Amino acid sequence: MQAINYQRINHILDAHHRDPLQLLQILLSIQIEYGGVSAPVRDYISKALGVPLAQVHGVVEFYHFLSPVPLGQFRIYVADNITDRMLGNGRVMETLLERLGVTLGTPRADGRVFVDYTSCTGLCDQGPALLINGRPLTRVTPEHAEEIAARINAGEPLDGWPSQWFHVEESVRVAGPVLTTHTEPGRALQAAFSKGREHLLKEIDKAGLRGRGGAGFRTALKWRVCRDAPGKAHYVICNADEGEPGTFKDRILLTRFADAVFEGMTLAGRVIGANKGFLYLRAEYAYIYPHLIATLARRRAEHLLGEDILGHEFSFDIEIHLGAGAYVAGEESALIESLEGKRAVPRPRPPYTATHGYLNQPSVCNNVETFVKTGLIALYGSDWFLESGTRQSPGTKLLSVSGDVARPGIYEYPFGVSVQTVLDAAGASDTQAVQVGGPSGTCITPAEFGRSISYEDLSTGGSFMVFGRQRDMLEVVQNFTHFFAGESCGFCSPCRIGTQLLRQSIDKIVSGHATARELADIEETARCTRSMSHCGLGQTAANPLLDTLKRMRPLYEARLCSLDFVPGFDLDDALAEARDLAQRDDLHAHLTQAGETDHARK
């Protein structure tokens, strides 16, 4: 194990001004350098920041990519979204475990290597994907996994690996106004300065712009409420925690249109009277961080950020905060908790973010794509924006298409586009189902492919996963249900426990141990979890089960055993621990199942 260099830790602490609000950022730096945040380091940080040790511990154990024990020099996380599974992540994982001689989720005996699964990494168009020390590798084959293992076993640092291994493709398949417009940085700001901030707000209002994260709240109303709210300071927050499985459109916007994102944030700052903005970047996209930092630096040099922007009496700057692996942080109040260096637990609402956000001050929190659109509206006006889309959903939407299609990637369509149009463009054939809006969205079957992508019909943050006829949809549902159970923040009881119960139910069905009673139980648990949960996570966690139960019930019924009563667990299996303790595994240490089997046959 690497010895702790406290001088180095002091350096990290100083770089973050020993500010308790920077706790998560500090812990991330330490995690990257030492592969974990061990007890003595937690204690040291607690004292240095004046933050209770229990809180430091709480934060470390909350986030997927932080660890209370050192995990080693090489930390590999294999993406486990259903699309990665369909592309064969299982064989990649098997190869890695075998060649590295490591057990899943446990550091290797020599303390140098750690391998685990993680939720969707936003690389579904080029899976199976994995992250090594935060750096992405795409389209990993078992052969490639062997090479990776060989380099790790030889102790070769990542910097010496072929650089093309870390290349991430950005496949834009259908480009609309967002993806074809390359505006000179600063032009939208100039337009806003010349026409005034009230004019811009009115234009955004007239354009009917609604949040592109999926919830569809009217952007102008959010900005107005925030602007009018009293506070010591106002803040602009960009939600780049693109965590919904199957979504990766923000990855492309941040890579290719970072200027447009920052310009939109600056416009928001101008409108609401903020001097400070944060971009919360999901940990899986940490590889884009240097590019974003460089873009910010260039914008400062061009007087598009900092003091007196473009010679006007307006100061605004942007800080980038990294996430550390938590889907729930996509919920805006949880994201703000995380920005403040805490566990990403959604706050009780009201009060809302617009009046009580970061540090309880008025804050605007918008999706990456929404900020890009505000810049376009500032430049081209609301009439231009209203030319595309539907009456209730004006403008275009970026869709991240993955799964069983010939051409996965980004598709920009006006709202109102039918699911079938997208499928045809992406080269999907013999499609069994489409998951629109990710696991928290809607699962539809061919009869509904005429439905439209819009807030009034199929609302989506951008995820569009396609499943061909050959797929086992229950495996899809199982993957999604496990996802929610693992990502529940644990704050409220119906979600914390309900998502586990739903996970148990689908496992029982898939393993062939469920009776018709299970389906009724799922609906009961789902009703409670959906109605009583604190935030969107728990409220939507049962969607994959409920949608497919409604549309594909025969798939479930085919997996039920026909008995009236089947034990909820395997009694013999339950005695495994006792056998282990007694160090016995002979015939007499097992229950005779023959009689029961005979009975079952009758």
Partner 1 sequence: MQENDFTFVIDGNSVSFEPGQTIMEAATQAGIYIPHLCYNPEFRPRGSCKLCTVKINGHFGTACTLPVMAGTQVENATPELMEMRRKVVQMLFVEGNHYCPFCEKSGNCQLQAVAYYVGMTDMHFPMFYPHRNVDASHPDMLLDRDRCIQCELCVRASHDVDHKDVFGLAGRSMQTHLVINSESGLLGDSDFSINDQAAHVCPTGALIPKSQAYPLPIGERLYDRQDISVVGHHQPATEDKDHG
440 binds partner 1 (CB under 8 A): no
Burial label, 561 (beta-carbon count in 10 A; 0-12, 13-18, 19+): middle
- DSSP helix/strand/coil, 218: strand
The 3-state DSSP class for residue 339 equals helix
3-state secondary structure 453-477: ECCCCECCCCEEEEEECCCCHHHHH
Cβ neighbours of residue 250 closer than 8 Å, sequence gap 6 or more: 122, 240, 242, 285, 367, 368, 369, 462
Among 101, 105, 450, 490, binds partner 1 (CB under 8 A): 490
Q: Which amino acid is at 559?
A: R
Residues in contact with partner 1, total (CB under 8 A)? 43
Which residues are CB-neighbours of 254 under 8 A, at least 6 positions away?
A: 240, 261, 281, 285, 288, 291, 292, 368
Buried b (16+ CB within 10 A) or exposed e, 161-178: beeebeebeeeebbebbb
Tokens 């950020």: give the residue.
Answer: 305
**Do residues 154 and 74 touch, judged by C-beta distance below 8 A?**
no
CB 481 → partner 1: shortest distance, Å? 13
Q: Which span sits near partner 1 by CB under 8 A: 14-22, 207-215, 301-309, 495-503? A: 495-503
Beta carbon nearer to partner 1, 326 or 509: 326
Query: Of 555-584, which residues contact partner 1 (CB under 8 A)?
Result: 568-569
Contact range with partner 1 by CB under 8 A, out of 49-57, 170-178, 264-272, 586-594: 49-57
Least Å distance between CB 529 and partner 1?
A: 9
| The token pair that represents 144 in the structure block | 């490639």
Spatial CB neighbours of 466, under 8 Å, sequence gap ≥ 6: 401, 402, 403, 404, 405, 423, 426, 428, 431, 434
Instruction: Work out whether 517 is an interface residue with partner 1 (CB under 8 A).
Output: no
Residue nearer to partner 1 on the CB measure, 95 or 525 = 525
CA end-to-end span of the chain: 60
531-545 as b/e: b if 16+ CB within 10 A? eebbbbbbbbbbbbb
Q: How far is the CB of 207 from partner 1 (least distance, A)?
A: 29
Minimum distance between the CB of residue 517 and partner 1, rounded to whole angstroms? 12
Is the CB of 39 or the CB of 293 nearer to partner 1? 39
Tokens of residue 358, six digits: 């970061």
Of 124, 322, 443, 501, the one binding partner 1 (CB under 8 A) is: 501
Kindly tell me which of 6 and 569 has the beta carbon lying closer to partner 1. Answer: 569
Q: How far is the CB of 495 from partner 1 (least distance, A)?
A: 9
Contact set for partner 1, span 328-367 (CB under 8 A)? 328, 343, 348, 350
496 binds partner 1 (CB under 8 A): yes
When the beta carbons of 140 and 522 are compared against partner 1, the nearer one is: 522
- Residue of 85, 158, 500, 551 that binds partner 1 (CB under 8 A): 500
CB nearer to partner 1: pick between 227 and 534: 534
Under the criterion CB under 8 A, does residue 326 sit at the interface with partner 1?
yes
- The answer to whether the beta carbons of residues 63 and 24 sit under 8 Å apart is yes
Number of Cβ atoms within 10 Å of the Cβ of 215:
14
| Distance in angstroms (rounded) separating the CA atoms of residues 473 and 470 | 9
Q: State the minimum distance, in angstroms, from the CB of residue 533 to partner 1.
A: 7
19 near partner 1, rule: CB under 8 A: no
Nearer to partner 1, 433 or 489 (CB): 489
For residue 178, the surrounding DSSP H or E stretch is helix 177-180
Pick one of 55, 181, 418, 420: the residue that binds partner 1 (CB under 8 A): 55
- CA–CA distance, 229 with 227 (Å, rounded to integer): 6
Query: Which range of residues in 53-61, 71-79, 124-132, 219-227 is near partner 1 by CB under 8 A?
Result: 53-61
Among 494, 506, 540, 548, binds partner 1 (CB under 8 A): 494
Site string for partner 1, 522-561 (x = CB under 8 A): --xx-xx--xxxx---------------------------
Could you say which of 259, 263, 457, 487 contacts partner 1 (CB under 8 A)? 487
Q: Which of these, 130, 547, 486, 465, lies nearest to 328 by C-alpha position? A: 486
Q: How far is the CB of 501 from partner 1 (least distance, A)?
A: 6
Shortest Cβ distance from residue 113 to partner 1 (Å)?
23
- Using CA atoms, how far apart are residues 561 and 575, in angstroms rounded to an integer? 23
Contact footprint for partner 1 (CB under 8 A): 39, 43, 52-55, 57-58, 60-62, 326, 328, 343, 348, 350, 485-494, 496-501, 504, 524-525, 527-528, 531-534, 568-569
